[in-house]
Amino acid sequence: MSQVIVAAVVLVVALAVGAVLRRQRRTDAPTQPEFSAPSQIDRADFATGDAPWLVAVFSSATCTTCRDMVSKAMVLASAEVAVVDVEYSANTVLHRKYHIDAVPILLLADRQGVVKANFVGPVTATDLWAAVARARDEL
């Protein structure tokens, strides 16, 4: 009988030691930052003339994806759509004002500065053009 009790105590101690060791080895999964785009901008911050729509690309000169985004956005430039490259080193104040923590971020804003569509990271030309078309059709 005493051997059964000793075996049970040894088993409980072994399980407890194993649980403690597993807790010490387990590491939390790394958290990923979530970047967000502004939902409202002040159109006076951007040189857009009288265009009813603004496409603002927050970019950086050192970002190759940003250059691609700016190129895709520039195709949209017209009397109806103003396109502005808000490059970080030239427009640090705007990046800080709108809490832009990552680039590229593309915003499509109406005349009042309400952001109707945004893209954080790369976007295809088709998706960008479709977003502009949808926003314009909503009026």
For residue 132, which of 69, 66, 54 has the smallest C-alpha distance?
54
Confidence (pLDDT) at 75: 94
Confidence (pLDDT) at 16: 80
What tens-digit pLDDT sequence spans the chain (139 residues)?
778 787 777 777 878 877 777 777 766 666 766 778 999 999 999 987 789 999 999 999 999 999 999 999 999 999 999 999 999 999 999 999 999 999 999 999 999 999 999 999 999 999 999 998 898 887 6
Confidence (pLDDT) at 64: 94
Kindly report the pTM of this predicted structure.
0.75
Confidence (pLDDT) at 34: 73
Q: Where are the domains of the chain?
A: 43-137
Alpha helices by DSSP H, 57-124: 64-74, 92-97
CATH number of 43-137: 3.40.30.10
Confidence (pLDDT) at 116: 95
- CB contact at 8 A, 136 and 53: yes
